[in-house]
Chains A and B, each alone.
Chain A
Amino acid sequence: MNMGMGGEALIILLIALGVILVVGGLGLALGWARPRSTPLPCRTVVDLILAYLEGTLAPTERKAFEAHISDCQKCWTFLKTYRDTVDLGRELREDAIPPDVHERLESFLRKRLSGPS
């Protein structure tokens, strides 16, 4: 009888241990115990810059990206100068056609389009 009760206790202990192991394993598999954002290497950060600036990174990716940038001087500088390059590129837009080109094109139109086709 005493042996039987001891056996039951052992079985209960083993079941409890099993449950702990299963839940723990499942938790690890689902990333409960992992840090929220995995550290990114510089190469990945550089690859993600366009998506970061366009605001299309997933929240966890964005967090990892920003964590890296705040720690890595090289990537921080790279991001800043990449941004400068984008801003400067947008300034290349000229909103007027040179007057001499406009004049020649108008004359071209008159010659080619006004006569019989």
Chain B
Amino acid sequence: MSANLVAALKRKDPMAFEQLLANHGAMLHRVALRLMGKPEEAEEVLQETLLAVYEKIDTFDEQAALTTWLYRIVTNNALMRLRARGRARETPLEPEGPVFSADGHMVQEVAEWNLSPEDALLRQEARAVLQQAVDHLPEAYRAVYVLAEIEGLPHQEIATLLDLTIPAVKTRLHRARISLREVLADYFKAGKNGERR
């Protein structure tokens, strides 16, 4: 199936590009949207990605997976745009996470929240809060988070795509999760105190 599609793409068959969009469009759109944060910019990244596929499909090594190759193109296009836009790459990750005493013990209380799978409305709200927080992660963390958590790619593949070491991928993913956990904790705390809804 994928081999047939690649062969048709290499022939520059216009129908094959529509097929590519049907098969992989959702993934490409998801990555572009989560990395860029703005729908109109995500759409421009998608257009650039489709053009790049058209121009570079002859260089695609058929031993590799088409999906991996597409991830690389869409991620690179989005990151290049973000860098060109001059979005501060060195933005610190905030909030950082728990505070520890000198001997390494947690200083503050950790508020518990109850997010049951049955509470669809609360989950939906929490997802919206999380999505917004993901959009505000610094670029270096967001790229790893999107590829690992949302796309479910293995650490090795993310390391190759982003030119990082595997420990760096794990550290960024972990720190992003900790920061997002803090955002959710604040959201649930506000709900408990009656500041939400």
Within 8 A of B (CB), among A90-117: 90-98, 101-102, 104-106, 108-110, 112-114
B9 to chain A, nearest CB (A): 11
- A interface, how many residues as a size bin? 35 or more
A74-B103 Cα distance, complex, nearest whole Å? 15
**Candidate in B47, B131, B177 with the most chain A CB atoms within 10 angstroms:** B177
Name B180's closest neighbour in chain A (CB-CB). A85
- Whether A89 and B185, one on each chain, are in contact in the complex, defined by CB atoms closer than 8 angstroms, is no
- Whether A88 and B21, one on each chain, are in contact in the complex, defined by CB atoms closer than 8 angstroms, is no
Instruction: Give the residue of B25, B112, B151 whose beta carbon is less than 8 angstroms from that of A97.
Output: B25
B14 contacts the other chain (CB 8 A): yes
- Secondary structure at chain B's binding surface: helix, strand, loop or mixed? helix
Write out the residue numbers on chain B whose beta carbons fall within 8 Å of the beta carbon of A108: 47, 50
A102-B20 Cα distance, complex, nearest whole Å? 12
Instruction: Give the residue of B34, B106, B185 whose beta carbon is less than 8 angstroms from that of A42.
Output: B106
Name B26's closest neighbour in chain A (CB-CB). A97
B46 contacts the other chain (CB 8 A): yes
A77-B97 Cα distance, complex, nearest whole Å? 14
B14 to chain A, nearest CB (A): 5
B166 to chain A, nearest CB (A): 11
B124 to chain A, nearest CB (A): 9
Report B's interface with A, CB cutoff 8 A: 12, 14, 17-18, 21, 25-26, 28-30, 34, 39, 43, 46-47, 50-51, 54, 97-98, 100, 103-106, 109-113, 115, 123, 126-127, 130-131, 134, 145, 149-152, 170, 173-174, 177-178, 180-181, 184-185
Q: What are some 5 contacts across the A-B interface (CB < 8 A)?
A: A42-B100, A46-B178, A90-B152, A102-B21, A112-B51
